């Protein structure tokens, strides 16, 4: 696969194959928009029916062009795409966007056609984007190579780079985000059926692109999903947050995916596992993408999850408290010295319990806003601060905004605002906050959610840093490898236990264990994600509840501990009513060993399940009482 994607985004010349003089049609729009948005390179419409389009000379065939274009847009009927792609190969075109529909998304004949395209692209080393896509925009380079309503507007270049498997929807998000959302976009590419350059290729490119600060992706399915671990890791190291919107999470949603762009939807649980392991922020609505993007633009990360709120509206403080606690934040008490410091100037009836309700009275003397911020930001129990300003507007709002900007500049902790005044009446204070990189939200719920996303990402970075120091357990089992040789049958009972034992997992007869908690631990070797480890409570639980933790291998010891704690049924393993705590250390050890086993037998193992795995009281270990292993089909 080609990797010089800068050439794709900033082509010096573009051929538009199948360009039409009817500028309202799909094949007429790209040339029109390239021209109207001031594309600075050379344009070559190709169509034997015309001499010129929009004053640009039109060529009968690609072979007739005076140079090799950096990029070709293919706008011809599906049946003719293979021919045209071959011509691109012959000419030596490095990148091609295939807009045409009628491939795998329609099944049958379309699938056959798509296979042919893959073959041609490989033979000629063409970087193909699409088919069944809507092209791309590079705002700064003035490359508006696509079609659709959003191309009618112009945009300011920003720091967000996007990739979307859906054309219509990706551009809708880009348009709302750039304009109403105040979060301008640098680049967007829509990838459709993704037979060539993939979503992860583009993300990889964005990580290396110095102008990209935040990466947003709309994903229906990733053919090369295991690369999420590697790409995500580099993004995390580079400090470039990825906000990913993964759709098709219900069975019917997955059916809809397949009939749309023909991307494989894949297991929702494995996507979530990869997101968690690499701090990829999951979006669930357009507003999430905008809100989280604005949060990351502040350029600060909290050192922990402890949020203090300063509010003039108690109601909003309650909402934010509920939302933040539900998303893993803590709402700590202020330190006594902070309370004392505040007591000196806040009104008598102010509440100094977090959320700190200073009441609107502090606006009578606006420097109190700055003093309040200083006190709360200086609190050793506080990692980030949200201020809630209700609908404050007018002259007072400008003064208050100035105090907030100054106060935030005296600290390196993130400061967020929930401020419900309408844009129409508060453009000045909002512009002051924007200029200072202070995120602000109309709704305290959304503000809380955005802070939680920032804190979650910061925690993922810290976690990754810790894990980097942890050794990855590597084990090798010659006996197991032989037992899972090509064509071997499913293993169960003692045969399966012998495999486990070779990797140091304690096994025994199923009847000796009493007083333990039954759990299930296993491996899924997914065709796209590769080996993943699964953990769940056993018995009736496993049967009726979707309460399992997943991690892609390799799983470190702290990963394993986190898996155990994250299931809803975790209290069954902790000390309970007249029940000792279970041996979670031994359980974590089994999970780590399963990960090592999964990697060692990656080419042979399809699935493995220890059920039940009996977790005895702390210090007494675990026992794999029964297991089954399904070898990979050859």
Shortest distance (Å) from residue 526 CB to a second copy: 21
Nearest to 32 by CA among 166, 168, 144, 163: 144
Angle between helices 395-409 and 427-435 (to 10 degrees): 10
Distance from the Cα of residue 494 to its chain's centroid:
42
CB 376 within 8 A of CB 308: yes
Two tokens, residue 119: 């073959």
576 binds a second copy (CB under 8 A): yes
* Comparison of 548 and 596: residue with beta carbon closer to a second copy: 548
User: What distance in Å separates the CA atoms of residue 564 and residue 585, rounded to the nearest whole number?
Assistant: 10
Shortest distance (Å) from residue 483 CB to a second copy: 28
317 binds a second copy (CB under 8 A): yes
* Comparison of 190 and 556: residue with beta carbon closer to a second copy: 190
CB 309 within 8 A of CB 379: no
Nearest to 373 by CA among 436, 455, 454, 426: 436
* Comparison of 260 and 461: residue with beta carbon closer to a second copy: 260
514 binds a second copy (CB under 8 A): no
Work out the number of other CB atoms within 10 angstroms of the CB of residue 439: 25
CB 552 within 8 A of CB 532: yes
Shortest distance (Å) from residue 108 CB to a second copy: 11
* Comparison of 71 and 388: residue with beta carbon closer to a second copy: 388
Candidates 264, 569, 580, 617: give the one binding a second copy (CB under 8 A): 569
Shortest distance (Å) from residue 446 CB to a second copy: 7
* Comparison of 161 and 393: residue with beta carbon closer to a second copy: 393
Q: Strand pairing of 13-17 and 42-46? A: parallel
* Comparison of 79 and 485: residue with beta carbon closer to a second copy: 79
Q: Which long-range contacts (CB under 8 A, 24 or more apart) does 39-42 make?
A: 39/14, 39/142, 39/143, 39/144, 40/141, 40/142, 41/11, 41/12, 41/13, 41/14, 41/70, 42/12, 42/13, 42/14, 42/67, 42/69
* Span from 88-96, 314-322, 403-411, 473-481 in contact with a second copy (CB under 8 A): 314-322
User: What distance in Å separates the CA atoms of residue 553 and residue 35, rounded to the nearest whole number?
Assistant: 49
391 binds a second copy (CB under 8 A): yes
Two tokens, residue 156: 């300011």
DSSP secondary structure, 231-273, as one string: HHHHHHHHT--EEEEE---SHHHHHHHHTTT------HHHHHH
CB 138 within 8 A of CB 8: no
Site string for a second copy, 392-411 (x = CB under 8 A): xxx--x--------------
Candidates 229, 318, 436, 475: give the one binding a second copy (CB under 8 A): 318
CB 84 within 8 A of CB 17: yes
Shortest distance (Å) from residue 314 CB to a second copy: 3
Residue 511 CA: distances (Å) to CA of 84, 126, 231, 507, 516: 68, 61, 46, 12, 12
* Span from 284-292, 483-491, 527-535, 608-616 in contact with a second copy (CB under 8 A): 284-292
Cβ partners under 8 Å of residue 619, min gap 6: 583
User: What distance in Å separates the CA atoms of residue 378 and residue 594, rounded to the nearest whole number?
Assistant: 46
* Comparison of 92 and 394: residue with beta carbon closer to a second copy: 394
247 binds a second copy (CB under 8 A): yes
257 binds a second copy (CB under 8 A): yes
Site string for a second copy, 460-489 (x = CB under 8 A): ------------------------------
331 binds a second copy (CB under 8 A): yes
The CA dihedral of 361, 363, 368, 371, to the nearest 10 degrees, is: 110
Residues in the interface with a second copy (CB under 8 A) total: 92
Site string for a second copy, 143-182 (x = CB under 8 A): -----xxx-xx----------xxxxxxxxxx-xx--xx--
DSSP secondary structure, 348-401, as one string: TT-B-SSSEE--GGGGGSTHHHHHHHHHHHT-TT-SEEEEE-TT--SHHHHHHH
82 binds a second copy (CB under 8 A): no
Candidates 49, 208, 410, 422: give the one binding a second copy (CB under 8 A): 422
Residue 205 CA: distances (Å) to CA of 121, 240, 574: 20, 12, 45
User: What distance in Å separates the CA atoms of residue 505 and residue 491, rounded to the nearest whole number?
Assistant: 16
Interacting positions 549-568 with a second copy (CB under 8 A): 568
255 binds a second copy (CB under 8 A): yes
* Comparison of 563 and 598: residue with beta carbon closer to a second copy: 563
* Comparison of 90 and 425: residue with beta carbon closer to a second copy: 425
Two tokens, residue 86: 């071959």
Candidates 217, 319, 375, 384: give the one binding a second copy (CB under 8 A): 319
Shortest distance (Å) from residue 487 CB to a second copy: 30
431 binds a second copy (CB under 8 A): no
* Comparison of 44 and 416: residue with beta carbon closer to a second copy: 416
Site string for a second copy, 23-62 (x = CB under 8 A): ---x------------------------------------
Two tokens, residue 1: 């696969």
Candidates 284, 412, 428, 465: give the one binding a second copy (CB under 8 A): 284
* Span from 113-121, 142-150, 371-379, 451-459 in contact with a second copy (CB under 8 A): 142-150
571 binds a second copy (CB under 8 A): yes
Shortest distance (Å) from residue 56 CB to a second copy: 24
Interacting positions 345-364 with a second copy (CB under 8 A): 349, 351, 353, 355, 357, 359-360
């Amino acid at each position: 696969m080609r990797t010089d994607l800068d050439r794709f985004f900033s082509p010096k010349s573009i051929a538009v194959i199948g360009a039409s003089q009817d500028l309202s049609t799909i094949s007429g729009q790209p040339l029109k928009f390239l021209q109207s948005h001031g594309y600075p390179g050379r344009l070559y419409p190709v169509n034997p029916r015309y001499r010129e389009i929009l004053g640009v000379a039109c060529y009968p065939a690609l072979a007739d062009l005076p140079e090799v274009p950096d990029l070709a847009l293919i706008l011809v009927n599906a049946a003719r795409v293979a021919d045209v792609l071959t011509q691109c190969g012959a000419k030596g075109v490095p990148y091609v966007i295939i807009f045409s529909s009628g491939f795998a998304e329609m099944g049958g004949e379309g699938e056959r056609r798509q296979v042919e395209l893959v073959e041609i692209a490989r033979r000629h080393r063409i970087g193909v984007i699409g088919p069944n896509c809507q092209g791309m925009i590079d705002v700064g380079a003035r490359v508006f190579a696509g079609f659709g309503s959003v191309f009618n507007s112009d945009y300011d270049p920003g720091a967000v780079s996007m990739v979307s498997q859906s054309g219509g929807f990706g551009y809708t998000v880009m348009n709302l985000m750039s304009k109403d959302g105040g979060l301008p976009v640098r680049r967007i590419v829509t990838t459709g059926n993704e037979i060539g350059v993939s979503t992860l290729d583009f993300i990889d490119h964005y990580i290396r692109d110095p102008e990209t600060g935040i990466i947003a992706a709309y994903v229906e399915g990733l053919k090369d999903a295991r690369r999420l671990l590697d790409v995500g890791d580099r993004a995390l190291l580079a400090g470039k947050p990825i906000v990913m919107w993964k759709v098709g999470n219900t069975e019917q949603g997955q059916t809809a995916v397949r009939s749309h762009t023909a991307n494989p939807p894949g297991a929702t649980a494995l996507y979530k596992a990869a997101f968690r392991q690499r701090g990829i922020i999951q979006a669930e609505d357009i507003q999430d993408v905008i809100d989280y993007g604005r949060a990351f633009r502040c350029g600060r990360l909290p050192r922990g999850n402890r949020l203090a709120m300063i509010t003039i509206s108690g109601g909003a403080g309650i909402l934010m408290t509920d939302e933040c606690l539900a998303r893993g934040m803590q709402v700590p008490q202020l330190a006594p010295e902070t309370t004392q410091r505040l007591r000196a100037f806040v009104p008598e009836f102010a509440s100094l319990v977090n959320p700190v309700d200073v009441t609107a009275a502090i606006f009578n003397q606006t420097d109190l806003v700055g003093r309040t911020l200083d006190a709360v930001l200086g609190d050793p129990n506080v990692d980030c601060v949200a201020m809630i300003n209700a609908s404050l507007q007018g002259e007072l709002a400008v003064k208050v905004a100035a105090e907030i900007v100054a106060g935030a500049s005296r600290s390196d902790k993130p400061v967020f605002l929930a401020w419900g005044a309408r844009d129409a009446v508060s453009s000045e204070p909002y512009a002051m906050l924007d200029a200072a990189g202070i995120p602000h939200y109309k709704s305290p719920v959304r503000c809380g959610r955005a802070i939680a996303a920032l804190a979650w990402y910061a925690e993922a970075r810290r976690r990754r840093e810790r894990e980097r120091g942890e050794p990855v357990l590597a084990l090798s089992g010659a006996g197991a490898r032989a037992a899972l040789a090509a064509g071997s049958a499913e293993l169960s009972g003692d045969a399966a236990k012998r495999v486990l034992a070779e990797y140091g997992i304690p096994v025994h007869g199923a009847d000796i264990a009493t007083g333990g908690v039954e759990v299930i631990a296993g491996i899924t070797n997914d065709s796209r994600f590769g080996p993943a480890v699964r953990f769940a409570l056993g018995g009736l639980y496993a049967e009726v509840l979707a309460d399992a933790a997943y991690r892609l291998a390799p799983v470190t010891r702290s990963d394993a501990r986190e898996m155990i704690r994250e299931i809803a049924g975790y209290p069954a393993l902790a000390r309970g009513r007249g029940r000792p705590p279970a041996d979670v250390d031994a359980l974590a050890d089994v999970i780590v060993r399963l990960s090592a086993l999964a990697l060692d037998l990656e080419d042979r193992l399809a699935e493995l399940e220890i059920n039940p795995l009996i977790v005895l009281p702390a210090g007494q270990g675990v026992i794999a009482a029964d297991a089954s292993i399904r070898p990979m089909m050859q």
